[in-house]
Chains A and B, each alone.
Chain A
Amino acid sequence: MTGNTWTIFKKELLDTLRDRKTLMFMLLIPTLVTPALMIGGSRLVENIMKKKAVERITIVADEQSHARYRGVVHRWFKEANQDFIFRAALNIGLNQLAQQDEEIPAPSPEIYTDPVVFEEWLNEVGDYMTEALSGEDLRERLSEIELPEGSPENSSGMSLGDYGDTMQLFVDFYTVGLRGLAFVDFETPDSIDAPSADFVSDGIPEEMISQPNGLNIAAAIKSKKIQGYLIFEEDPTESLTNESRTMPVTLWHDSTLSSSKEAETRVSRVLDRTGKLVVISRLKKRDLSPDFLEPMDLKGNTNLASPSQEILAAVGGFLPYLVIVYAFLGALYPAIDLGAGEKERNTLETLLLAPQTRTEVALGKFFVILLASLVAAILGVASIAISFYYIIPASVMAQANIQLDPMTVIAVTLLALPPAAAISGIFLAISIFARSFKEAQNYIAPMQFLIILPPLAAMLPGIEMNWKLAMVPLVNVSLLAKEFLKGDINWGYYVVTFASTILLAAVCIGYSVWQFRREEVLFRT
C-alpha cells in the first residue's frame, strides 16, 4: 500500500465507521439478527410442535365407535403391560408421582380391566403425565426409579432406563394413551350444532354432506368446529381375534387443516402401535418369536461417521454459504457510500484533484470495502456457529464433541478472502459508475442473484467437489468449505479454488480501478 492509499484507506474507514447503516449491515445483522432469527425460529417451531402435540381436538363419533376406539387404546395398554418392566415402572412411577403430588390419584386396579375407567384415569392424569413423560431426561428419570428389592424386575440388576423397548413403551404411552385418547374430546353427532352449509362442496363425497342425523360432517370439519369423524364399523374385540382379516376404520378429516391433520396422525398412530402389539401377541400364541416378522435387519453401529461429522455434514453446506451472503451484506453499504456517495455529495471532483493517482483512490476505497466485507463474513459465521450450540440439543452436542483444529479454522477463514475481494471489487466498480446512491442500489440489486445463487448449489446434498467445480468461483468456495468441515482436506482443490477465485477478484479489482480512470464514468451526467 502506498502512502496515499493508506491515507485514503484511513479516512474512508473512519467515515464508514461513522455510518450507522454500514455498521448495521457489517456488525449488527450478522452478529445479532441472524442468530436471533435462527434461535428464535427453531424455538418457535419447537413450541408449535409441542403445542400441537397436546392440543385438544374434537372428534365426532357415535357412542359405539367411541367405545370401540377406546377399546383399541385399552388393548394397547393391556398388551404393553405384558412387558414387566413397563408394568413395574408404570406402577412404581405412578405411585411415586402420586406421593409427590397429592392431586394425582393413585390408579385403581380397574384401569387394567375396564376401558372406561382407564379413559377416565387417563383424562385425569393427562396433563401431569405429559409433563412427566415429555422432556429429554425421561431416560434419566426412569433410571432413578428404584425397583423393589427382591422383585423379579430387579433381579437382573438393571435400571429401568436401560431397557430400550421399555423406553419405546413409554413414548407410546404418551403418543397413544395421552395424545390418542386423553387429549381428544369425543362428541356424538347429535350434540354438535349443524353448521351452515355455505362452503364449497366440490369433490366432497355426498355422504359427508348429508348425514342421516342432519350433521354436515364436511362443513363441520372445514369450519374447524370438529377435527375428524370416526367410524368403527366392527367391534375390535371380535375383529382382532380373526387373524385372516384386516379391520377397517374410517376417519374423515382434512389434511390441509393442521388440527384436522393432527387428528389423523393421532388415530393412525393408535392403530399402528396397537396393531404391532397385537401381532406380537399373536406370534407368541403360536410360539413364534417377534423375529418371525423381521427376516433381515441392517446391523446398528456400522456407521463410520461420528456424530460430529454427521452434524457438520448437515451444517456444512450452510455455513460456507453464509460466508458469501455476509461478505455480500458487509460490502454493500460501504461500497455504495464510497463510490456513488462521493458523487452524490459532490466531493469526488475535489478528491480527484489532490495529487494522488486514481489507482490509489480506487485501492484505498477497495480495501475499506474488503475489510467491511470480511468483518461481516467472519462475525456472521462465528455467531451462527455459536448459535448452533443453542439449537442443537445439549445431549447431541456433548456426544458430538465438535473440535476444529486451528489449521482448518485458518484455512476456512482465508477462504473467505478471495470471494470478499471479488464482491468488493465489483461493487466498487458499479458504485463509482452510478450517478447517485439510488442508482447504485438499483445496479447492485440484480447482482444479488449472481452472487448469492451459485453458492447455493453447494448446499445441495448430491453435489461434491471435483476439479471442474473447483474452477467455478464462489461455488468452489462453498464446496471446499463443506469438504473442510467434513474433515476431507484436499490441498489440491484448495489451491485451485483459491487461485480461480483470486483471479476473479483480480479481474474485479482491475475493473474497478479502470472505472476510476475513465472520465466518462467519473463525470457522468
Chain B
Amino acid sequence: MISVRDLSKVYKVKKKGEVVALQGVSFECRPGEVFGLLGPNGAGKTTCLRIISTALKPTNGSGEVMGHDILTDPAGVRTSIGFLAANSGLYARLTPKEVLRYFGTLFGMEKAKLNARIDELAETFEMTEFLNRPCDKLSTGMKQKVNIARTVLHSPPVIIFDEPTSGLDVLTSRTIIQFVKKCREEQKTVILSTHIMAEVEKLCDRVAIIHKGQLFFNGTVPEIREKHGDDLEEAFIQMVKEVA
C-alpha cells in the first residue's frame, strides 16, 4: 500500500536556479495492483519514486508506505520496499551471490534464511549457472536478473521499478514483465514508471500520467480508451498536448 499526498519537489541547481520537478502530486496504489507512472522524459517520474523510497525528501507533501511515514520513518519504509533504480548497476568485482549476501545482511536477514532465499531466487530466475561469476562478466540480461533478485530478496510487500525495461531486449523485458505479473498474483503493491505504452497496456491496472511535474490523469487503461480513443500512444500525446 502506497499513498502520497500533495508531493512537490524543487531542486536547487547552481546557475539555473530552481527546478520544479514535482508539483502537488497525490495518488494511491493498493496491494494486488500494478500502478503505472507514465510520462515523457523529465516529467518527474524518477523524482516521485525516489521520494516514495526515501532517497529524496519532498519539498512539500507527505506519504506512507505500508503504514510507514516517508518523512518520520524512512528506515521502516526502506525495509518494506524493493527498489529497482533506472539503469541500476552491480559491483563489478563481486559475484551475484556476494551482492545478494551483502544486501541480505543489510536488510537484517539471518544467514541460514538468506542462503535459502538466494538458492530459491537463483532457481526462479535461472541464475545458478552464473551465481559465482564476477558481475562484470555477465550479460546485460543476466545482470538485470541479479538486480531483480536483489530487489525482492527480503520479500518486500511493495516493489518499485524505475523504467525496468529500458535498454533491454525483448526476451529480457519479458522476464521482467512476467515477474511483475507474478508479484501482482502474490498481492504485492507494484509501482513502475515507464514511457512505453505497450507495457502499460499489458501490465498496469491503474495509470497516472504526469507531465512537467503535474499529475493530470489517474485511472484505468479502459478509462483512457473511453476518453481518447483506442490508440493509446495517440491518446498519450494528445493528453500531454492538452496540458501544455
Contact = CB atoms under 8 A, between A and B. Distances in A.
A523 B55 contact: yes
Interface in B38-86: 50, 53-57, 75, 78-79, 81, 83-85
Interface residues of B, number: 31
Interface string B85-123: 101111111100010001101111000000000000000
B150 interface: yes
Find the residue from B57, B83, B87 having the highest chain A CB count within 10 A.
B83
B12 interface: yes
Contact of B83 (A345, A350, A520, A522): A350
Given A18-B93, A523-B56, A355 B107 contact: yes
Interface string A338-368: 0000000111011011111100000000000
Contacts of A19: 93
B88 A355 contact: no
B91 A355 contact: no
Contacts of B150: 350
24 contacts: A7-B102, A8-B106, A11-B94, A11-B102, A15-B93, A15-B94, A346-B85, A346-B88, A347-B89, A347-B90, A349-B88, A350-B150, A352-B55, A353-B54, A354-B106, A354-B107, A355-B78, A355-B79, A355-B106, A355-B107, A355-B108, A357-B75, A519-B56, A520-B11
A201 to B, nearest CB: 61
A441 interface: no
Given A11-B94, A346-B88, A349-B85, 18 more contacts: A7-B105, A11-B91, A11-B98, A11-B102, A14-B94, A19-B93, A346-B87, A346-B89, A347-B88, A349-B88, A353-B54, A353-B81, A353-B85, A354-B78, A520-B12, A522-B55, A523-B50, A523-B55
Interface in A378-395: none
Contacts of B81: 353
A4 interface: yes
A4 B106 CA distance: 6
Contacts of A353: 53-55, 78, 81, 83, 85
Nearest to B19: A525
A347 B91 contact: yes
B106 A356 contact: yes
A521 to B, nearest CB: 12
Q: Which 10 A-B pairs have the closest CB atoms?
A: A346-B89, A354-B106, A18-B93, A345-B89, A349-B85, A353-B83, A7-B105, A11-B102, A355-B78, A347-B89
Contacts of B53: 353
Contacts of B84: 350
A172 B84 CA distance: 83
B101 to A, nearest CB: 9
Contacts of A520: 11-12
A125 B87 CA distance: 80
Contacts of B93: 15, 18-19
A345 B56 contact: no
Interface in A1-28: 4, 7-8, 11, 14-15, 18-19
A524 to B, nearest CB: 10
Contacts of A354: 78, 103, 106-107
Interface in B147-162: 150
A357 to B, nearest CB: 8
B159 to A, nearest CB: 12
